[in-house]
């Protein structure tokens, strides 16, 4: 049985569970140790780009309603144009709402020491343990120096065939050999697939550098615009989760929802129900 067939079979077996979760009343804030039990074997969270048309308050309310405990912050919700003091206050607001900040970005990093330093100062003020980055290859030495100074991790985000530097995770992985272990990858499984890479295999092959994962699904593996509900496309989500569990992946698994930007709440709730159902089905 191929990976797509396995994905569809697991989707069908978890449909009832997902539907029940989607219709359940909102609960109090989740915490990293519960109450979802087995689902917390992976840190399922939200890339806040998914809520890019919502205010920060609306995004926090969405996370409360969907019982989300982890978040990666995009600058829609913590503007880089704000002062560092304002960024720190926004951090306190997010954490006070019961969310654990797993990182921020994607942030473009040019081979400009002042720009790199500014990004790390922003990350420190915002409480980011990780910067999800789109760097220029020439900037890697300067970024590594900043990693050592600030003790903040950096995960290079792959952006598919359109990315002239890092279409697939392996394109970044090969340039990180011998570098600080805090310098790694943020694997976007949709973009990786469009670049001709199997995300399940990439998770295992790049396990020592895998710091963050962005989850989405595609009806057509080569079509950026064919994004669909997670579990209803061609990507092997159960296989990915199984691989992440096998390698004891400790990082964030962030849903990056790019459909229906004006009103993403229902779709995000459905996607989390499916992903939690998949995790609950894996023993």
3-state secondary structure the chain: CCHHHHHHHHHHHHHHHHHHHHHCCCCCCCECCECCHHHHHCEEEEEHHHHCCCCHHHHHHHHHHHCCCEEEECCCCCCCCCCHHHHHHHHHHHHHCCCEEEEEEEEEECCCHHHHHHHHHHHHHHCCCEEEEEECHHHHHHHHHHHHHHCCEEEEECCHHHCCCCCCHHHHHCCCCCCCCCEEEEEEHHHHHHCCCCHHHHHHHCHHHEEEEEECEECCCCCHHHEECCCCCCCCHHHHHHHHHHCCCCCEEEECCCCCCCCCHHHHHHHHHHHHHHHHHCC
Q: Domain extents for the chain?
A: 3-24+42-281
pLDDT of 186 above 80: yes
Residue range 94-106, pLDDT digits in tens: 999 999 999 999 9
Q: Tell me which of 5 and 231 has the higher pLDDT.
A: 231
pTM above 0.75, yes or no: yes
CATH class for the domain made up of 3-24+42-281: alpha beta
Residue range 192-224, pLDDT digits in tens: 999 999 999 999 999 999 999 999 999 999 999
pLDDT of 19 above 60: no
Residue range 119-136: average pLDDT? 98
Average per-residue pLDDT in the chain?
89
């Amino acid at each position: 049985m191929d990976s797509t067939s396995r994905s569809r079979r697991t989707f069908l077996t978890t449909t009832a569970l997902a539907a029940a979760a989607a219709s359940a009343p909102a609960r109090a804030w989740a915490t990293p140790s519960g109450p979802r039990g087995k689902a917390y074997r992976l840190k399922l969270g939200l890339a806040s780009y998914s809520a890019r048309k919502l205010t920060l308050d609306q995004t926090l309310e969405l996370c409360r309603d969907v019982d989300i405990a982890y978040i990666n912050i995009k600058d829609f919700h913590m503007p880089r144009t704000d002062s560092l003091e304002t960024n720190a206050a926004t951090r306190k607001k997010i954490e006070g709402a019961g969310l654990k900040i797993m990182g921020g970005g994607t942030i473009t990093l040019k081979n400009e020491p002042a720009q790199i330093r500014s990004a790390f100062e922003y990350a420190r003020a915002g409480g980011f343990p990780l910067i999800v980055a789109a760097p220029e290859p020439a900037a890697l030495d300067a970024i590594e120096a900043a990693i050592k100074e600030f003790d903040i991790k950096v995960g290079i985000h792959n952006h598919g065939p359109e990315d002239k530097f890092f279409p697939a995770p392996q394109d970044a992985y090969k340039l990180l050999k011998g570098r600080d272990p805090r310098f790694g990858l943020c694997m976007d499984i949709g973009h990786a697939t469009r670049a001709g890479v199997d995300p399940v295999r990439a998770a295992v092959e790049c396990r020592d550098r895998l710091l963050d994962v962005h989850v989405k699904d595609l009806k057509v593996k080569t079509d950026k615009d064919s994004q669909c509900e997670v579990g209803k496309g061609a990507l092997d989500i159960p296989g990915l989760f199984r691989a992440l569990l096998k390698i004891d992946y400790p990082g964030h698994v962030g849903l990056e929802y790019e459909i229906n930007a004006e009103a993403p709440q229902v779709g995000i709730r459905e996607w989390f129900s499916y992903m939690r159902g998949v995790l609950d089905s894996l023993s």
